[in-house]
A and B are shown apart, each in its own frame.
Chain A
């Protein structure tokens, strides 16, 4: 009897162990569900992003994931560039003058306070510039905007700032539009994760992995934004982001592709991103300019933007509105016969056109990245070249983008995209087309000289010099096959009024988002 009852209990105990383990796991479910403390009333603007910002460190605001939350929302800079006109506008500085070839004086806006209540002064501005350009904390903005330039900032009095550069720098005020201003209490020796700024919103709560909430800053110096709070969440899948807006779970979703199904909530806008293929002009057969021209003629750009990704065919790496954009450079025409002729001519002259050219692609660089490369491959095969595709993830692809380049790879075409968010060709030309540029596989002395001349010029001279440098690249060097100026898509709730611009992907100004009523 006793034996029987024990035997009967055993399976019950076994099931009990299993069930109680599962129940234990499930029982703590409320720590994930139902614990969201956010009231999502009509006063909260709900934004869905493709990824969580790794940090909100202001000196990393040139990183898209960080900048689109931080810039002009939590922190502000001395100046800001209007993406529609390209003009530099006052922000925390009200005016600036060049006092010598290497020095500038800025007059700062009075009555501005940081979110911690402290006053914004020239000392804070000088501190922020030092902190951002001090490579000890390896700020992204340091490498991206200032690279080798040396900057010294000094507070003359509370509202006057003097900035000196080691070399003459005609676009210093533009560079400073990337330095987000923080109070002197910010750690100067380490990155901060949650910044204090002067912007219209302050950080309210960051529940890692789940959401990030900003709250309107009552002491803001400018016009108060419409929404009292903003809540950011992130979903990697584009169709889910679009569905969140159509399902009224979010007001704004960004980074969408045409097939994500945003329907009549979709708003298309031209970005400053340009897609291109970088040709390795040091290796045969790409070392022959006829082959590089043939690659350009063989690509059906209209077909790509109609059937594969969203954009407009383009012929240069910077879009309209960026200083140096050359309106006379159009997209290369699609001419498969010409491409075939050029390859045949080169072959007749002994160029080894049978060598396999590898397209180094990057998954996810834009929607349907792999399909786009298949279209390119098809055009090049028809032109008589031998081409294969290798699709990589970002880090593996970066090995090919940046110097020193991998050896023994054979001739390559690198799938790339460039977005000049700073608005001046100086941030494009040197690093991409200069002989020694970090992303450059090939350049010529003549083009180097043209770039150097343009970098030192200012005003209309600067525009003309950079436009000429682009023309020289396009006519004499042909290092790239520029494909398209990309179009961005966001989904917008009918309750929100917002007009995206070319900077929207990098900088989403919550204050520009208004109620539709």
Chain B
């Protein structure tokens, strides 16, 4: 297991560097931030001062070298917009996104396992058809529309929930529900597919023949074998959530990393953007490793391959 973890960590370094490099250079191709940060009638001297103070007067390669040296010292620079340390902004925003994504995946997984298993238990039954139809609809509903409809129906018309914000438990319901719908829809389909084939496998018949209870057959035997593909898809969906909570965070005023990234792109706030992307990339690598660990624990063949 340790060998596998070490290999994965080492193989993550190159893609991480590519991400850092890409964000650094692409951000700087999008125009001079002085236009945004200085008054419209700024004099050439003010522009030169601004460039010198932020190191933008240096060649791009020098800027990148300086940045890498800074990162090595765990200094992620200062926000152009707020003059606060970029790391502070990212560390403040990241847990909010992680918590949102965490709740969403937990509920999506639990719900999908129950519904998917029930649907797979009697393929082509009315329950199965309804579950398939609803899950494929859920997998294709746009987040933006869902969020606005959620606000209109549950906050404005019915008055059951707050429109937005982070104040109190009720504020979690709409953002989590909005984020939940798509992963839930996808996972129900994956669980159902995997369970249909698992339930028709010979070992299930053997288990039934030995007199195991139906609950034990479904959740003890079939689900264990169906777990690997579900875990892979759930891992991908979780990555998508960490990376793509932008719409939901923007609409509900959730102070997370998605909103921070969008704001820093629009504000050409390079230091914050770079730090946010770096932390997100690290989180995604960590999540992928976590999925691999779970795979290895589930499937001895994976462990053997990793050890080889």
Contacts and interface: CB of A to CB of B under 8 A. Distances in A.
A505 to B, nearest CB: 17
Contacts of A233: 165, 253
Given A26-B102, A143-B40, A239-B151, A247 B159 contact: yes
Interface in B244-283: 250-253, 255, 259-260, 266-268
Nearest to B31: A395
Contacts of B99: 25-26, 28-29, 31-32
Main secondary structure of the interface of B (DSSP, over half): helix
Contacts of B213: none
Nearest to A38: B167
B172 interface: yes
Contacts of A26: 99, 102-103, 106
Nearest to B162: A249
A135 interface: yes
A143 B92 contact: no
A226 B268 CA distance: 40
A210 B35 CA distance: 27
B163 A147 contact: no
Interface in B144-177: 148, 151-152, 155-156, 159, 162-169, 171-172
B162 A208 contact: no
A237 B151 CA distance: 11
Main secondary structure of the interface of A (DSSP, over half): helix
Interface string B225-248: 001000100000000000000000
Contacts of A15: 227, 294
B142 interface: no
B297 interface: yes
B95 A32 contact: yes
B103 A36 contact: no
Given A26-B99, A33-B166, A395 B36 contact: yes
Interface stretch (A6-14, A288-296, A464-472, A485-493): A6-14
Contact of A247 (B102, B103, B156, B298): B156
Interface string A126-139: 00000000011010
A389 interface: no
B224 interface: yes
B39 A17 contact: no
Interface stretch (B45-53, B120-128, B187-195, B201-209): B45-53
B148 A143 contact: no
Nearest to A140: B39
A22 interface: yes
B39 A209 contact: no
Interface in B55-111: 81-84, 89, 92-93, 95-96, 98-99, 101-103, 105-106, 109
Given A25-B103, A140-B39, A236-B259, 8 more contacts: A55-B81, A138-B37, A138-B46, A193-B83, A208-B82, A208-B255, A236-B250, A240-B251
Interface of B: 30-33, 35-43, 45-46, 49-50, 81-84, 89, 92-93, 95-96, 98-99, 101-103, 105-106, 109, 148, 151-152, 155-156, 159, 162-169, 171-172, 224, 227, 231, 250-253, 255, 259-260, 266-268, 290, 293-295, 297-298, 300
18 contacts: A14-B227, A14-B293, A17-B294, A19-B106, A21-B102, A24-B102, A34-B168, A36-B167, A135-B43, A135-B49, A140-B39, A209-B255, A235-B251, A240-B151, A243-B152, A247-B155, A394-B36, A438-B40
